[in-house]
Amino acid sequence: MKLTTTPRQDGFVFPAEFEPIREVWLAWPERRDNWRNKAKPAQQTFAAVANAISEVVTVSIAVSSPQYETARAMLNSSVKLVEMSFNDSWMRDIGPTVVVNSAGERRGVSWQFNAWGGEYNGLYEDWSDDDKVAAAVCDVMGIDHYRAPFVLEGGAIHTDGEGTLYTTEECLLSPGRNPSLSKPQIEAQLREYLGIDKVVWLPKGLFNDETDGHVDNLIHVVAPAKVVLSWTDDPFDPQYSLSREAFAALASQTDAKGRSIEVIKVPLPGPLFYSHEEANGIESSDGMNRQEGERLSASYANFLMVNGHIFLPLLDSDFDDIAKDILAKALPDYQIVGIPTREVLLGGGNIHCITQQIPA
């Protein structure tokens, strides 16, 4: 059922990803102007991610009816498949953000979705099916949902579950999202629909991120007042100044509880670029241009935390183990599960972008 109140009015808040999770949702990739070679390599990688997560928690995957049998054959028997219409497979952005109250009840938030920029700079023209996915997932789960009166994607927000929300100005203030809303008005909406008390604003996201700088590609909130930040020490890398601006922003602000924010720097992989074969395997379209030699927006921060596990994208043999070691030291209670996910990266995101956790 669609509710007419707001989560804040009803006492619901957005819990952290490191709190207990009951289920993880994905959507099966098939869009040929984003996934190369008829999406076959991407499907193998999505299946590897889903199967790994299914060892830890229930996994549900939205799938179109023509793709149902293909997906079923590639997935563990415990993975649930749900037939659903959608335009592309970024469940983080099209699925519901699930909020909880003190009694443990869950409700979903359906954000308005416009393909990361609508008429201004959206990546495809028809996003009508994507915009209905959050409500559809809530219906499948049997929970009520709120329909937010503004554009937002799940990848644009991170929370500590204790009142702090992290986001980037580059994304939330971009002309393609909510041009009629001021920064204070956007903050007020975030408070209302996520039950948070403070927004920590970072200037920009990762270099060349076509989502206009989603926060989940730059940082990951791994504990209260503790954040992983994508980093490079190469002064010639365009990410060099962006990461330093983010670090300065985190260092100059406190969280909702007044705590200083600890920052764990994790090196970027690469830099990585589209190969000739990869760029040529994608059917051309207006919104998503994939050029040989174009910089990929690659990041180890784009992992998923599920019940004591970190599902980490493996992207570069020179840096994979370094990233693993840093996270293992910072989060000794977590088991780190590395999954090679270059095929997801080629589509414009990574493990965090293709998953949406449902809190317990």
Three-class secondary structure of residue 295 per DSSP: strand
Q: Helices marked H in the chain — which ranges?
A: 7-10, 40-54, 68-74, 91-94, 118-121, 130-141, 169-172, 183-194, 239-252, 276-280, 320-330, 342-346, 351-354
Per-residue CA distances from 130 to 38, 119, 140, 245 (Å): 20, 16, 16, 33
Tokens of 223: 């504990």
Q: Token digits for 14?
A: 């957005």
Q: What's the angle, vertex CA 326, arms to CA 323 and CA 327, rounded to 5? A: 85
Separation between Cα atoms, residue 125 and residue 115, nearest integer Å: 8
Residue showing tokens 């060892």 = 55
Amino acid at position 131, single letter: D
353 is catalytic: yes
- Rg value, the chain, Cα: 19
Inter-CA distances, 226 with 61, 159, 223, 318, Å:
31, 11, 5, 26
According to DSSP, the residues that pair with 220 across neighbouring strands are 228
Q: Which of 353, 357, 358, 359 is catalytic?
A: 353
Strand order in the sheet with 164-168: 158-159, 164-168, 198-202
Q: Which two tokens stand for residue 202?
A: 């970072």
Q: Could you tell me which residues are beta bridge partners of residue 339? A: 313
Please name which of 121, 125, 99, 89 lies closest in space to residue 15, comparing C-alpha atoms: 99
**Residues annotated catalytic, as ranges:** 353
